[in-house]
Structure 1
């Protein structure tokens, strides 16, 4: 069985500072947690930025530039910059950080969906910052826009010269796999591709094993053997789906973007704690963990010498 790649999604754009003191939003904290996650076994670091003053999601390239060189100086991990930004942002703004940094990888959401987290708002009586409650409640009326035109723009900007980035194709439901198959036929992407099954988001496919098997079976039908794949089990299904995916030959993603918890009812103290836990689970069931160099070879990446940070 091929080695298993662990991705760590360090901060994201959904959870807010009130929800966990461990969620990093200052650049020094994002850098430290990313580096610690890499040292714990994460070969890929999936990165968003935050406004360092109040923790709100940011796509300002300057906010990324405050932590990217630190991460590169202290770890060989693959940097994967999100083009998802936040659901309230347009594609031009969402593309700006990746275009500025020219990373080895960037994420690419393969279809639009209702992306909601509004039920979380009722768990908190007060908030650290005044933007948080409106951000959470507002997702009830939000649409995460990723049209074919948006996908084409990201592919054209990041996939060819001068960036030559590979994509983490985020698929929140089975229709997104068909969107990707269409885009491949249109010549937007070159195989092998890297799929990320995003499961457990309100508005997308539920995080259960039957759905994971269905997504994998559909990917086999559409892409044959010319792809790598990984899974996100958002929330409480994070570790269970990771264990099953690795047994099926897939890769895994953990991190405070996807779940704030280390087990039911107990908040994680860091991203590295989640990486350490999933690594232990995988190694106990016989999976070998891929190094960054091995992950680069598996995914066909350009190398750290060709990034712009």
Structure 2
């Protein structure tokens, strides 16, 4: 008899650090907007909320703990969703800046990019006719000459200080097949223990393309490296590739991630008015596929998290 498929974890990445306010009027930038969209996404069915901070004055990416503190406690008070804080921040931040708030909060989960890479949306600048803030155009165009840094030493530092030191587990962001092998290295070194939560990412310039075959390649490679029962597989499709790839992931027994960090759209030519719009859409698709949605409590159990009572704030 075939094994019954697990419930599907929906993650929601609320704002990120890549898109800018000129790209969508619905991108949450202020603490109030981030809190409101995160809470609504959780109410719509997201079990995990992946959070970045932005400068309330102009929407630029921020690492300041004081800014995170304006919305994270509100989200925790209003929902039982797992709080997942970025350790990626942005390409302009140092490692110490990226870890400033995670080390303060000691959350149940953080994201962890599994390698240094070219990461760019500089071509998106060509589509913007008017910029709201002076920082936006050089920020987007400047990505062409920047690298997101996460060396082996950086990753080791994060695993030891935040993982071992704080009991935080990770959403391992893998943009290419090599990132899976990097993760396997750290498993072999004893710095990572299962169950692993692998977020495979498609459609970012500098990473793997959104071809469906790449999803199969990542899934089968992870099977070889970790064993099917040794990890939880999740899929992030950037931009217009979001819903097709997530549907494919669900059929393959995976989990899904939506949110305005990953795509500003709900459908062809239609901007998503909120992250919850995307959560509700993927939830409808999953339901039509006869799949069940994991609650935050079920997600905690599936991923071996320490529980919200062990978080510092």
Q: TM-score under structure 1 normalisation?
A: 0.99
The number of residues matched between the two structures is 308
Mapped to 2, the partners of 1:229 and 1:79 lie a distance apart of 19
4+ runs of 1 displaced by more than 6 Å?
none
The match for 1:194 among 191, 194, 197 is 197
Q: Tell me which residue corresponds to 2:297.
A: 293
Mapped to 2, the partners of 1:284 and 1:210 lie a distance apart of 24
Q: Tell me which residue corresponds to 1:3.
A: 7
Query: How far 1:188 sits from its partner (Å)?
Result: 1.2
Question: Per-residue displacement from partner, 1:220-257 (whole Å, max 9, x unpaired)?
Answer: 00001211110000011100111110111110000000
In structure 1, the gaps of 5 or more residues are none
Q: Tell me which residue corresponds to 1:277.
A: 281
Q: Tell me which residue corresponds to 1:74.
A: 78
Mapped to 1, the partners of 2:105 and 2:98 lie a distance apart of 13
Question: Per-residue displacement from partner, 1:196-236 (whole Å, max 9, x unpaired)?
Answer: 00111000001121000000000000001211110000011
Question: Per-residue displacement from partner, 1:277-300 (whole Å, max 9, x unpaired)?
Answer: 000001101110000000000001
Are 1:62 and 2:62 matched, yes or no?
A: no
Question: Counterpart of 1:239 in 2: which secondary structure?
Answer: helix
Query: How far 1:91 sits from its partner (Å)?
Result: 1.1
Mapped to 2, the partners of 1:56 and 1:177 lie a distance apart of 31
Query: How far 1:186 sits from its partner (Å)?
Result: 0.9
The match for 1:235 among 232, 236, 239 is 239
Q: Structure 2 matches for 1:63-212, cutoff 5 A?
A: 63-161=67-165, 163-212=166-215
Query: How far 1:16 sits from its partner (Å)?
Result: 0.3
Q: Are the counterparts in 2 of residues 208 and 237 from structure 1 also a CA contact under 8 Å?
A: no
Q: Tell me which residue corresponds to 2:217.
A: 214
Mapped to 1, the partners of 2:58 and 2:265 lie a distance apart of 22
Query: How far 1:125 sits from its partner (Å)?
Result: 1.9
Query: How far 1:90 sits from its partner (Å)?
Result: 1.5
Query: How far 1:119 sits from its partner (Å)?
Result: 0.4
Question: RMSD across aligned C-alpha pairs, in angstroms?
Answer: 0.7
Question: Counterpart of 1:220 in 2: which secondary structure?
Answer: helix
Q: Structure 2 matches for 1:19-30, cutoff 5 A?
A: 19-30=23-34
In structure 2, the gaps of 5 or more residues are none
Mapped to 1, the partners of 2:206 and 2:290 lie a distance apart of 34
Mapped to 2, the partners of 1:116 and 1:286 lie a distance apart of 37
Mapped to 2, the partners of 1:293 and 1:130 lie a distance apart of 43
Question: Counterpart of 2:190 in 1: which secondary structure?
Answer: coil
Question: Counterpart of 1:23 in 2: which secondary structure?
Answer: coil
Query: How far 1:89 sits from its partner (Å)?
Result: 1.3
Mapped to 1, the partners of 2:212 and 2:101 lie a distance apart of 34
Q: Are the counterparts in 2 of residues 8 and 254 from structure 1 also a CA contact under 8 Å?
A: yes
Question: Per-residue displacement from partner, 1:93-125 (whole Å, max 9, x unpaired)?
Answer: 111111111110000000111001100101112
